[in-house]
């Protein structure tokens, strides 16, 4: 029987934006015997990550997307209607300090990004949390 472990994804900063460090898995968030439970928890963890973005530059999470203008427009509309915030600079604007769970869902939808991976391990594998320390490689986690 397998176990499904949620890991934080690794990200590096390029002086313009965060990029996913493909294949780099970070801290262990949880372990599940059921893939469906792991998927549900992964979504919850992604939303919690977004709720902790208060004050960070939103653009850092979509700067390199091919559809930058479309994503920006969605944020402009959402921030105006949900937070009564008028964005002054298309290339630099911050997340509000407080983001509710419902607002995080919408932001997650707009960004179309994940901050966690589900990795399948054999049930008898013993995982050492120290083996997943991304700080040693100058990568960040959310």
**pTM for the whole thing?**
0.92
Exposure class string for 25-60: b at 16+ Cβ within 10 A, else e: bbbbbbebeeeeebeebbeebbbebbbebeeebbbb
Average pLDDT across each block of 10 residues of the chain; the chain has 142 residues. List them in order.
94 94 93 97 98 96 97 98 96 96 98 97 92 84 92
């Amino acid at each position: 029987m397998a176990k499904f472990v949620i890991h934080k994804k690794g990200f590096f900063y390029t002086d313009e934006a965060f990029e996913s460090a493909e294949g780099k898995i970070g801290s262990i968030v949880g372990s599940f015997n059921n893939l469906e439970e792991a998927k549900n928890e992964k979504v919850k963890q992604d939303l919690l990550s977004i709720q902790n973005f208060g004050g960070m530059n939103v653009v850092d999470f979509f700067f390199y997307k091919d559809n930058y203008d479309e994503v920006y427009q969605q944020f402009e509309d959402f921030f105006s209607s949900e937070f009564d915030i008028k964005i002054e600079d298309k290339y630099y604007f911050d997340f509000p300090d407080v983001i509710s769970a419902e607002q995080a869902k919408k932001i997650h939808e707009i960004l179309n990004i994940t901050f966690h991976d589900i990795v399948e391990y054999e049930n008898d594998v013993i995982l050492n949390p120290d083996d997943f320390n991304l700080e040693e490689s100058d990568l960040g986690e959310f």
